[in-house]
Amino acid sequence: MSQPLNLRVIPMGGVGEIGKNMTLVEYDERILIIDAGLMFPENDMLGVDILIPDMSYVLEHREQVCGVIVTHGHEDHTGALPYLLPHLDQVPVYATRLTRGLVEVKLKEHKTAQPNFCTIAAGDKLDIGPFQVEFFHVSHSIPDGVGLAIRTPAGLIVHTGDFKLDHSPVDGQRTDFAKLADLGREGVLLLLSDSTNAETPGYTPSEQEIASTLEQAFMGAQGRVIVATFASNISRVQQVVDIAARHDRFVSVIGRSMVNNVRMAQELGYLHVPNGVMVGAEEINYLPSNKIALVCTGSQGEPTSALVRMASGDSRSITLKAGDTVIISATPIPGNEELVNRTVNNLFRRGATVYYDELFDVHVSGHASQEEQKMMLNLIRPQFFAPVHGEYRHLVLHARLAEQVGLPKERIFILDSGDILQLNCLSASLAGRVAQDRVFVDGLGVGDVDDAVLEERRLLSRNGFLVVAVAVDVYTGQVLAPPRIVSRGLAYNQEAEALLRGIEEQAGKLAAEGGNAAAISSRLKASLASYVYDQIGRRPVIQPLVIEI
């Protein structure tokens, strides 16, 4: 019998959470892709719509890809599929029913062809190329999530997916402890485990725990009850539906992505709505306020979301009144705090009673806290461990937990995005990196916005621009018409007009000094920059255009 080959594991991503958006497992020149998700840009990534993993390595080796597994239906695990699947002809995509439904909705929104889906369920064992993959259920803030046991001749890899150990999940589906124990007994070469909450001591509360806050809000509500949460948080919607029904209120869902997901989850049987409870957005106008519960997007203060429009009085359909109750059932994602604060202040200004995370238990995390992470380590007892799904500091902290439960430091690998971990049954080591830059998606462009473009946008965002166009005679260098100026984002009011007239005058003088186009251009650029800075202390982007006629 020949020696088993090496396994290679590569967490991808490049921004923020490492390995969260995509992980590659390679054996015998075959690649298994786990998840293909997106990240939202940070505040200083101007004009960028989303970030996706750098797929150049995958696309260079596309003929080796034997399958794509989607562990659950959240955007940070599915959102890059529209950018990946069109390049992978006929490669099967493995997902549970709800996850598949959510991916189908997303692909439709992107007008991307549906792939070769293979619907799986927890408990299934499938051969995907050289990998035998067994799916086991994990609880998370969305139903139907799975973790993976990936068997290869070189050993067994366990990938937890996003998980928590919820003992009373809303959908009744617990993380499969027995399977984890079995895997531990079988002998696991490598554990890849969710590090998101490595900063949080203790246990993450059950999703059920927020029922009491919702109950309290519904009990005290005089007017409408409006619950804002993530569009994909089907378990949260289920809880709102249950409580609304108990309090004799009708439920309406607002916001396109929310409506699509809720409809699909209902059709697939993941969301159970008593007959007659769900009503359309138009019907709520005919119901008394105390019979209405609304579920909507906007929990992150997204400027165009339903909740934010209600808070600022811009919503055509819903005008908030004193007496209405708003529950923001989420915690702000880092970077969104200002937007959420602004929304909460506006809701208070409208006289609404607001349940939000500073004051109430309106949200529980979907991720394992430290004690659960230790439990996972102790159930699996892996030979090697690589914390994944977290920012760099979370991986370091998760690694420390592993040391605490007895794993020797040299068997723990803190990988950065693109790092290649090479393993066989005896040893593991870093074996280089694949190119792994962050890829920005802006409009239809994928990757045509880079750091240089962002830097230009940053300069423009600070002080705007100033373009000076001058037409000169190509032979004599004579200025043929007064310079024309266009400026945006620089300044605005009477003084600014005086400034612009001053600039025009300067430009006229500078151009009249003659020379060829290049000479005039560089003279204009330098002198106008210092003129503007002297006048108003700003440095707009200045670009002369010398037209030779």
Contacts with a second copy by CB under 8 A lie at 42-44, 46-47, 199, 334-335, 337-338, 341, 344-345, 348-349, 354, 358-359, 391-393, 396-397, 442-445, 447-450, 452-453, 456-465, 467, 469, 471, 480-481, 484, 486, 488-493, 495-496, 533, 535-538, 541, 543, 545, 547-549
Question: According to the 3-state scheme, what is the secondary structure of 64-131?
Answer: HEEEEECCCCCHHHHCCHHHHHHHCCCCEEEECHHHHHHHHHHHHHCCCCCCEEEECCCCCEEEECCE
Minimal distance, residue 519 CB to a second copy, in Å: 17
Dihedral of CA 44/50/51/56: which sign? negative
Minimal distance, residue 255 CB to a second copy, in Å: 22
Minimal distance, residue 44 CB to a second copy, in Å: 8
Minimal distance, residue 77 CB to a second copy, in Å: 21
The CB-based long-range contact list for 426-429 (8 Å cut-off, 24+ gap) reads 428/190, 428/383, 428/384
User: 72 or 394, CB closer to a second copy?
Assistant: 394
How long a stretch of residues is the chain?
A: 549
Minimal distance, residue 535 CB to a second copy, in Å: 8
Q: How far is the CA of 525 from the CAs of 189, 521, 534, in angstroms? A: 62, 6, 14
- Give the H or E element holding residue 512: helix 494-512
User: 29 or 44, CB closer to a second copy?
Assistant: 44
User: 46 or 287, CB closer to a second copy?
Assistant: 46
User: 448 or 513, CB closer to a second copy?
Assistant: 448
Between CA 240 and CA 211 the distance in angstroms is 8
User: 139 or 325, CB closer to a second copy?
Assistant: 325
Take residue 115 and report the two structure tokens written for it: 């792939």
Q: Are 144 and 97 in contact (CB under 8 A)?
A: yes
Between CA 212 and CA 206 the distance in angstroms is 12
Minimal distance, residue 21 CB to a second copy, in Å: 16
Minimal distance, residue 9 CB to a second copy, in Å: 20
In angstroms, how far is CA 350 from the centroid of its own chain? 31
Q: Are 379 and 180 in contact (CB under 8 A)?
A: yes
- As annotated, the active-site residues are 194, 367
Between CA 387 and CA 371 the distance in angstroms is 15
User: 27 or 440, CB closer to a second copy?
Assistant: 440
User: 527 or 543, CB closer to a second copy?
Assistant: 543
Q: Are 367 and 197 in contact (CB under 8 A)?
A: yes
For the chain, the distance separating the N- and C-terminal CA atoms, rounded to the nearest angstrom, is 80
Q: Are 278 and 293 in contact (CB under 8 A)?
A: no
Q: Are 402 and 193 in contact (CB under 8 A)?
A: no
User: 42 or 127, CB closer to a second copy?
Assistant: 42
DSSP state letters, 354-395: EE-TTTS-----SS--HHHHHHHHHHH--SEEEEESB-HHHH
Residue 216 φ/ψ region, left for φ over 0, alpha for ψ in the -120 to 50 degree band, beta for the rest: alpha
Minimal distance, residue 461 CB to a second copy, in Å: 4
